[in-house]
Amino acid sequence: MKQQLKEVVESALIELRKSGALQLEHAPQILIERTRDQSHGDFATNVALVMAKEAHTNPRELAQLIVETMPPSDQLVRTEIAGPGFINFFMSDAAYGDVIRDVLRQGELFGRSQIGGGEKVLMEYVSANPTGPLHVGHGRGAAYGAATANLLRAAGYQVHREYYVNDAGRQMDILTASVWLRYLDLCGEEVTFPSNGYQGDYIWDIAATLHRERQDMYHHPADLVMDGVPADAPDGDKEEHIDGLIAQARQLLGEEQYRQIHDEAMKAILGDIRDDLAEFGVEYDEWFSERSLMDDGTVNKVIERLQKSGDIYEQNGALWFRSTNYGDEKDRVVVRDNGLKTYFASDIAYHMNKLGRGFERMIDIWGADHHGYVPRVRAALAAMGEQPEQLEVLLVQFASLYRGGQKVQMSTRSGSFVTLRELRDEVGIDAARFFYVLRKSEQHMDFDLDLARSQSSENPVYYIQYAHARIHSVMRQLKEKEMVWNQREGAENLHLLVESHEKSLMVAISRYPELLESAALQREPHQLAHYLRDLAHELHTYYNAHHFIVEDQGLRNSRIMLISAARQIFANGLALLGVSAPEEM
RNA sequence: GCGCCCGUAGCUCAGCUGGAUAGAGCGCCACCCUCCGGAGGUGGAAGUCAGGGGUUCGAAUCCCUUCGGGCGCGCCA
């Protein structure tokens, strides 16, 4: 609808320039907006105000000229010049009728666009270290990432969804040591657990499985394990302590057994994460292993290339990437003095690998606490001769949980965090998915568990789902009264929908395609969540004001047609957000 | 100290590529079904858009600055 209007204005401007009535250096961008007030029509453009100065004329006169030059359109009833020089457009009933017919004809495809132009996008989200179950912070990234991926697909992007598995590195070693120590405990050894280890119950579970299946295969006496290990905090350094334990594990178990425990622990946790996300309706096309980048030499190749280009220097036995040359605030280590590559090194390799797979755009969704990491990755891309703009990082702020008006405290290491699974159990998948995307991602969010759990009017999820279910209920009623909805007759009688509630609902429905484009371009699923609530409000208001199942056949069929179109929008929109659209509640 | 995010109604938040009288939900007050699901609807009270400057036809929106809050500034990941 908006697009058609834009073309009308565009052709007027072209005509005016061709005839010499208007002299401009370049064609202005035409911005057409929905009006806030119905008395201003359906759409308005400020194009005359924007161009007036350059055209050396006053805005109202220019607006008049544009209106007079516009080609006739059956979509428009009339136009008016308002205020300082806005052009207001009043759309015809036929234009709205076309939208309703389109919705039913296109069904679940309605609202999709090609604005993404088939661009190949790699979206990476969650990518939590497989060292423990997902918590509610990951949940927000998951819900946001999945919904944004859906939006981009609906807008004509080719989206590949990926989870980067950090299966290499020190965190995994700490996990391995943690599991092994719990296992030794189950073997009857008295070991004091490191303050820096992973303390959750899930570690016990993995250890118990290990103990059941392998019995005392990995058993070593506690005093031998602790021999020569630096003291833990508070007397010593907790980092040195845990590193000492890792070294002991490696030595006593040997690389092969160490690797077995490592892999078992990771398999268990990663499997749990996959299940968790799948149950949450968050899907991936690929789970990408960090270790594979080490094993196939990609990381080494990247470092060599940077060395050749002179972007790497050695200092204090470590290799540093000169990221300050590319806008970062300090240089970054890629290989530590102990020879280990940093996470950053493999991350450069990972992003180069993404580009190597032919993706034109990389969208990473990170927790806001990683924001300082963005410049260095961009710097690395620049140093590698790539366009840093190809990497788009979307930051997701923390979500604080509130229960009974009290903030729920969380800490990963101590194991006293709220897991995503617990959240799902408490409030349900639909409420969790919806609440997570109800707020702009870069906004700190207060997640009210009591509200999300409540199955009442104050909960916006149910408000929307109820609107959808209500329409189904009307259809059931229709059947019970042994009436059949004649869609063709409805389509022919849309002109009978003259009530203000009907007009409002049609306007809301016609906004959907514009809304989807906007939400996709700005990576803002919350726009869709808010829109659906507005649409639900229109539906409920209409429902209260008028009857759909009326005697007059033409009117009945056209009203059912209208609410069927609304139903389709609810179904389409909720699906993009990962929320179910129940037929009855 | 430096960097990023944020500050809008009692609470939680939309609105921010400048546009007409600043919106929604919750809460509060008063109402609405002989009728398709009341998990609904109608009306009302409620604002120095944190403060101060600037840019212009026009600023919640852009720029500067002050104040307040969150996060980050490792040879951790």
Tell me the pairing of strands A332-335 and A361-367: unpaired
CATH number at residue A314: 3.40.50.620
Q: Å from A375 (CA) to B2 (C1')?
A: 15
Question: What is the per-residue pLDDT across A341-396, written as a single tens digit (0 to 9) for each?
Answer: 999 999 999 999 999 999 999 999 998 888 889 999 999 999 999 999 899 999 99
* Nucleotide with the nearest C1' to A458 CA: B26
User: Domain ends where: A226, A244, A279?
Assistant: A279
One domain, residues A158 and A175: no
CA closest to C1' of B71 belongs to A369
One domain, residues A155 and A200: no
Q: What is the pLDDT of residue A400?
A: 81
> Residue A550: is its pLDDT beyond 90?
yes
Its ipTM equals 0.94
In a domain, A432, yes or no: no
Question: What is the per-residue pLDDT across A159-187, written as a single tens digit (0 to 9) for each?
Answer: 999 999 999 888 899 999 999 999 999 99
Question: What is the per-residue pLDDT across A87-101, written as a single tens digit (0 to 9) for each?
Answer: 889 999 999 999 999
* Nucleotide with the nearest C1' to A318 CA: B75
Q: Å from A342 (CA) to B44 (C1')?
A: 62
> The tokens of A69 are what?
């030059």
Q: What is the pLDDT of residue A368?
A: 86
In a domain, A422, yes or no: no
Nearest to A410 by CA among A420, A207, A281, A442: A420
In a domain, A116, yes or no: no
User: Residue A267 contacts by C-beta under 8 Å, 6 or more apart in sequence?
Assistant: none
In a domain, A430, yes or no: no
User: Domain ends where: A279, A304, A337?
Assistant: A279
- Residues A26, A288: Cα–Cα separation, whole Å: 47
User: Domain ends where: A50, A69, A91?
Assistant: A91
CB A193 within 8 A of CB A179: no
One domain, residues A164 and A296: yes
Chain A 377-396 contacts with nucleic strand B (CB below 7 A): 395
- Residues A80, A12: Cα–Cα separation, whole Å: 15
Question: What is the per-residue pLDDT across A21-35, written as a single tens digit (0 to 9) for each?
Answer: 777 666 666 778 888
Half-sphere exposure of A323 (CA within 13 A, CB side): 24
Residue A455 — pLDDT band, cuts 50, 70, 90?
A: low
Q: Please state at what angle helix A553-577 crosses helix A500-521, rounded to 10 degrees.
A: 20
Distance, first Cα to last Cα, chain A: 34
One domain, residues A67 and A84: yes
One domain, residues A81 and A133: no
Q: For chain A, what is the domain count?
A: 4
Q: Å from A445 (CA) to B15 (C1')?
A: 18
What does each C-alpha distance from A227 to A175, A233, A582 come to in angstroms? Answer: 20, 17, 61
* Nucleotide with the nearest C1' to A372 CA: B72
In a domain, A421, yes or no: no
Q: What is the pLDDT of residue A280?
A: 96
One domain, residues A215 and A258: yes
Question: What is the per-residue pLDDT across A2-18, written as a single tens digit (0 to 9) for each?
Answer: 888 888 888 888 888 88
Nearest to A507 by CA among A11, A95, A66: A95
User: Residue A481 contacts by C-beta under 8 Å, 6 or more apart in sequence?
Assistant: A549
A317-332 exposure pattern, b = at least 16 Cβ within 10 A, e = fewer: ebbbbbbeebebeebb
Chain A 412-451 contacts with nucleic strand B (CB below 7 A): 438-440, 442-446, 448
Q: Å from A443 (CA) to B62 (C1')?
A: 21
User: Residue A374 contacts by C-beta under 8 Å, 6 or more apart in sequence?
Assistant: A366, A393
Q: What are the residue ranges of helices labelled H in A187-297? A: 201-214, 222-226, 238-279, 290-295
- Residues A579, A581: Cα–Cα separation, whole Å: 7
One domain, residues A16 and A55: yes
Share of chain A above pLDDT 90, in %: 67
Q: What is the pLDDT of residue A21?
A: 75
Strand, helix or coil at A20?
Answer: coil
Q: Report, as an integer, the average pLDDT of A420-440.
A: 90
Q: What are phi and psi of A132, to 5 degrees?
A: 180, 170
Q: Å from A38 (CA) to B53 (C1')?
A: 37
CA closest to C1' of B35 belongs to A547
CA closest to C1' of B58 belongs to A84
Strand, helix or coil at A231?
Answer: coil
One domain, residues A189 and A269: yes
Mean pLDDT (chain A, rounded): 90
E runs forming strands in A293-452: 312-315, 318-321, 332-335, 361-367, 391-396, 399-403, 406-407, 445-448
Q: What is the pLDDT of residue A457?
A: 57
Using omega within 30 degrees of 0 as the cis cutoff, is the peptide bond preceding A234 cis? yes
Q: Which helix (H) or strand (E) holds A347?
A: helix A343-356
In a domain, A437, yes or no: no
- Residues A317, A337: Cα–Cα separation, whole Å: 5
One domain, residues A388 and A467: no
CATH number at residue A507: 1.10.730.10
One domain, residues A67 and A152: no
One domain, residues A288 and A164: yes
- Residues A460, A434: Cα–Cα separation, whole Å: 9
CATH number at residue A60: 3.30.1360.70
- Strand B–CB A397 distance below 7 A: yes
- Residues A487, A501: Cα–Cα separation, whole Å: 21
* Nucleotide with the nearest C1' to A88 CA: B20
Q: What is the pLDDT of residue A63?
A: 87
One domain, residues A265 and A330: no
Tell me the pairing of strands A158-165 and A286-289: parallel
> Residue A413: is its pLDDT beyond 50?
no
CB A87 within 8 A of CB A27: no
- Strand B–CB A78 distance below 7 A: no
Chain A 247-306 contacts with nucleic strand B (CB below 7 A): none
In a domain, A454, yes or no: no
Tell me the pairing of strands A399-403 and A445-448: parallel
Q: What is the pLDDT of residue A66?
A: 87
Q: Is A274 exposed, middle or buried (0-12, 13-18, 19+ CB in 10 A)?
A: middle
In a domain, A540, yes or no: yes
Q: What is the pLDDT of residue A60?
A: 83
Range of the domain at A209: 170-279
Residue A403 — pLDDT band, cuts 50, 70, 90?
A: confident
